[in-house]
Structure 1
Amino acid sequence: MASISLLPIYGELSADRVTYVDIDLETGVWSEVEAGGELVPGRILAAFQGGQVVQKILFSDGTPRNVQYFGVPEPGAALRWHAANYPSVRGEIWQPFAREGSGSCRKGHFTGSNAIVDMVKMEYLDDDLDLISEEYYTPDGRLLERFEYRYDSEKELLETLSYNRHGELIDIESHVDE
């Protein structure tokens, strides 16, 4: 496994291991990939603290396209660090999960090529950690759109409901094969 940082890793996250990973999109299972200490196009570079991913760098054509930071209590310092280290790369700073009703939620702060948040996303999960809704907001807190996800008893996604900024249902997308 790659044991050195090939790209800047946000120091506040205290990563103890950096390696390339592949994700099986069917199962969601992560597997580490031997990289030989070189940047590998088309891979995801992940920094871990214990068994938790604290930073992911997604590549396209060998260039970082998106950097995600996880478990960041306050996004301000991470936003500034991202702007200094990845000035032309989209960033997502995710706060830790918090208990909410019968599930949990987390807040993500999205930034472009500066330290300014241009969108906020709230994700709500049930007790089984299935995504049940997402809400997108402007930086000043105005709702842009909302999505709800409905599952069957086997936790297969049945449909996605889309709502506009006024809370009006605008679309229902079925995910059931007919």
Structure 2
Amino acid sequence: MTGNPPKERVLAIVSIIAQYVAEENRLPSSSDIVEELLASGFNSEEIDAAFLWMESFSLQGGVSDHAELTIPSQRIFTVEENHAISCEGRGFLTKIRGLGILDDASQEDIIQKAVQLDEDEITLTDMKNLTALTLLTRSHNEWLREVDCFMDDDWTRLYH
């Protein structure tokens, strides 16, 4: 395989790694993850692309640990963002922003990453994976419960 690996397979790898972290409350060694991914049928190019994408995602920074108290805002998506992100994906972002899981800067970071993928429309599953990765790379322990809830579509636990 030459060129870029398919987006869906790279995002599937990212999702598997995020689930590892969420379930085990720690990051297993990269060699353990790579062995399991290879055994699951992913090739080394796809695995490398996923790790590189996650590394660049976490190195781009984001919000500071000292968030300011701000008045909640409503995000209006641009035409480009509407084309890049499915209606369900945009609705998901709006919902978790309204619940206070995301701040404005985190939401903007996720939207920017989604648009940068520059492939087919970002689905709800893709958006959940991007959001989980964003929250886990910023402060793993703080958002572990919330990530677990929205990955499982268990919204009632977030309200209680």
Task: Please state which band the TM-score falls in when normalised by the shorter chain.
Answer: under 0.3
Task: Flag the structure with more relative contact order, 1 or 2, with Cα contacts below 8 A and sequence separation at least 6.
Answer: 2
Indicate the structure with greater helix content. 2
Indicate the structure with greater strand content. 1
TM-score (norm 1): 0.25
TM-score (norm 2): 0.27
Structure possessing the higher radius of gyration over alpha carbons:
1
